[in-house]
Amino acid sequence: MQLVAEGLPSAEISVRLSLSLRTVETYRSRIMHKLNLHDLSSLIRFAIENGLATLK
């Protein structure tokens, strides 16, 4: 969540975490679905408001 909040693209997150691009995109999609969020900005806002990520 921190990397998403920092605005990194999925490709960069996958490299940093040693995961496939598809895995990162799947995780993000599942999280957004479970939280009923429809866009990336809503996910970032949720993460910051709930202490899951900080802005650097």
Report yes or no: 14 and 4 within 8 Å, Cβ to Cβ.
no
Reported pTM: 0.81
Q: What percent of the chain has pLDDT over 90?
A: 71
pLDDT in tens, 10-32: 999 999 999 999 999 999 999 99
Alpha helices in 1-56 (DSSP H): 2-5, 10-17, 21-34, 40-49
Per-residue model confidence (pLDDT) at position 1 = 86
Burial of 32 (0-12, 13-18, 19+ CB in 10 A): middle
